[in-house]
A = this chain, B = another copy of it.
């Protein structure tokens, strides 16, 4: 299996869980936040989706597209589907060799990293914030929640 396919499988084993959590969130909970200093639910979900997509664009040395309007009437379930599709499309273009390409992300995180490590960081970021989202969604009253990863 190619490195990109293996990484996509790992990514989707978590993103599918993110999508399942997002699908439970009704519009009246979009502004929910656990504390005044927390991101709102909508902000958190958009942060997860856009961060991974941008990290994937950096890793593949592509210019990220504008995939949504900030001021539009947003449906986060649809947004998740759109960002997942575009993120996978970027990673699919990578050869095994491309995972070793050094990427300069000093302007974001202060370091240069091989593309593979940058993608790993993107995935760790997703899992971290999905861990936040689990608490948010439970606080909204949902108790029938998926396992943190889709082992499938």
CB < 8 Å: which of B110, B128, B151 contacts A148? B128
Residue with the greatest number of chain B CB neighbours at <10 A, chosen from A121, A128, A143: A128
A interface residues, how many (CB within 8 angstroms)? 29
Residues of A13-39 contacting chain B, CB below 8 A:
14, 34-35, 37-38
- In the bound assembly, the distance between CA atoms of A129 and B133 in angstroms comes to 11
- A131 neighbours in B (Cβ, 8 Å): 127-134
Q: How far is the CB of A51 from chain B (nearest CB, A)?
A: 11
Given A128-B130, A131-B128, A135-B135, answer yes or no on A111-B38 (Cβ-Cβ < 8 Å).
no
Residues of A95-152 contacting chain B, CB below 8 A:
109-111, 120-121, 124-125, 127-136, 138-139, 143, 148-149, 151
CB pair B139 A35 closer than 8 Å: yes
- A135 neighbours in B (Cβ, 8 Å): 34, 38, 132, 135-136
- A35 neighbours in B (Cβ, 8 Å): 138-139
A positions within 8 Å CB-CB of B:
10, 14, 34-35, 37-38, 109-111, 120-121, 124-125, 127-136, 138-139, 143, 148-149, 151
